[in-house]
Structure 1
Amino acid sequence: MLARWNMSLETSLSGPDFLRLLLLSLALCHQGSNKLQGPCGKPPLHERCGFPPKGATEKRQLSFRQRRFQMDRHVRAAGMQPVRVLQPAPVLDALPAPINNIREDPSVPIDYVKRDGVATITLNNPAKANILDKPTSDAISEAWIDLWEDRHIRCAIVTGAGDRHFCGGHNLAPRPDLTAEEREYLRTQRIYWPLAGTVHGQRTGVDGRMGDHYPRVWKPVIAAINGWAAGAGLYMLLTSTDIRIASAEHARFKFGLLSQGWIGNGPGPAMLVRQLRYADAMKILLTDEAFDAQEALRVGLVNEVVPHADLMPRAEALARHIVTLPPAAVRMMKEFVIRFGNLPDDQAWHVQNLMNSLLMQTTMDAEEGRAAFNAKRPPDYTGTLRRRGEPWPEPSDDDARRLDEAYRSGEY
């Protein structure tokens, strides 16, 4: 079957394109095999691409997304640009113990730490203002997916290394392999033929990810703003964070694009006008002036301003508090606000009622919260889901009247 598929490809592809597709097909069919020999006497494909021999690692069922990212890493190592992959998320039917690890890899421009239910993403390129270039965006995206799929993680913190920059924006340095004419061609093409991810909300460029991919992680994200948040750094605050703590000494903010003759490709202006008062948002956008943490607090861009020494302790304290709350209810609250918060009130209320009924009917935390309140004890929220039960029996006439009265009273 593989041979027939390869022959059909040869009729329409040749050269590097065909070779890459052939490598992909071989990798799909022979992942983990130690018998596959490479062309021209090269080492076997599993050695060149990093595949472990069969039986060398513990067998584990992975999701489609996890297999895709692993395959990206293996295949691109054979000739394409590599993608750095974080550890797989736990399988839902066999959750491991909570993870306490620090992922240190100097080739990845972020530090990603998971500890006690909190994931911390630190942009770690202070020499270049913690810019959001493509490698950083790739690493953040993979961390975002990992913290979403890891059910032990209930909250995230995003910050920057050092005390000068939270994130200084995009990488504006031109690529050395592109001419000015080629850059102009690509910018024009983006207008008429945007990447599929830009249209359908999947992984794409930096702006597309911040506008659609990052906000759809329905877990609270706290920003610990340790320095400048400009351009794409301000975008990240607006689109990807829910609670914002700023350093009194070092946090500074700037839209940063209008003064360069742009209005930006990302969702920053629209998000700014939605989150702040119109007059405050327009002053930030139309003057393109920098402002400090106290001004950010005044206009409502941040929640708190604290001394720099207290920045991470305060963010971690908030995260630890969120970890104690019922995880399913927390994630559904964020999803409701982001997905349905702009609906007319009657429609939003209806959706909220449906989501709340789901929580009450399908999670154990809803019962635990009420039981703990009535018993005057601290609740123990686990996020456990209920098993679907048997159909309700039809009540007698007397029971039906009694239940109807209780239902109409709202006291149940």
Structure 2
Amino acid sequence: MTAQRTQVAIIGSGPAGLMLGHLLKAEGIDCVVLERQTRAHVESRIRAGVLETVTTDIMHRLGLGARMDAEGLVEDGFNLADGDMLVRIDIKALTGRNVVVYGQTELTRDLINAAPERGLNIVFEAADLALHDVDSDHPSVSYVADGVAHTLACDFIAGCDGFHGPSRRAIPADVVREYTHEYPFGWLGILADVPPCHDELIYANGPRGFALASMRSPTRSRYYIQVPQGESIDNWSEDRLWDELEGRFNGISQHGVTRGPALEMSIAPLRSYVFETMRHGRLFLAGDAAHIVPPTGAKGLNLAASDVIYLSDALIGHYRQRDEAGLLGYERRALARIWKSERFSWSLTKLMHSFPEQGAFERRMQIAELDYLANSPAMQTAIAENYVGLPL
């Protein structure tokens, strides 16, 4: 067994853990990132790609935004559709801001590639990760790497290891506050190297439910359709999915759906989840370890980024000014933004999906809501403000 020490042990090398590590290293705070998976696995995970200003600002602050600026697609608006009714939300005109479409996979690669020159130590394939004494003044993390057992002593632990990681489970059940809502459907997605059918994202609803037309680049598209909870990917051939997408988008999109071989097809369940105990002793949770949002509002990665801003500011204040206010207030600040983002994602999911219990009245309400939105600058502004990201 080898013994090591650092100031902050970061569990997880997703965007939350990597951004936090870079922000702390930039301030001279020692930290180590521990990741259970291989580097190849981390860099290959297909995730979201709509970045709010809070996320792009972190990359610029770190001096790591060059490829994002060169390859990301600046989007000034997005679209909500029902049947042949297409409503464009001009987020640039309504808020003065925009979003950037840049795959989370690419952002993760940028952060990992920059780690060696910035002195950020990332330990991949850290097996048997366990957190110890998190409610004491001397927490630690144990793990096995290359067949050798290690103990990493630290001042603080940042749990950035996602919904299935060990960090959240290290918090005793008697102090846990959590809230969850499971949706009765999932998203069947396809990624393909074909040009997008529209220059901006389209969130569509209709008699057969939700569909999304999005992109990762001018030559790579990402599509989703709503499928029942428990649906098997084996029931869907590529041709069947392309037929469905053409039926949904060819009548309302600028360019029409272009078919191509799937780079990836998968089904993701939808849930809303908040684990309010984001701090226990010297353990702090950030990102998907503390909250999950349905992807309808494109909030998952961006909520992780705002968590990281709050947590990095708190840790920097502790080490630089011996100011404990940030650490004491982290949970409150993070949760205020989390619940507002959960509300937006939940409300947009309700508007743009078909629910099993939905009758003719509920369907008429969805149509009336979108019609009202189409003619209400005030409602469009509210949607735009939430989509580009609420203030920190």
TM-score of Structure 1 vs Structure 2, range by shorter chain: under 0.3
**Structure with the larger RCO, 1 or 2 (CA within 8 Å, 6+ apart):** 2
Higher strand share: 2
TM-score, with length taken from structure 1: 0.24
Compare CA radii of gyration and give the structure with the larger one: 1
Higher helix share: 1
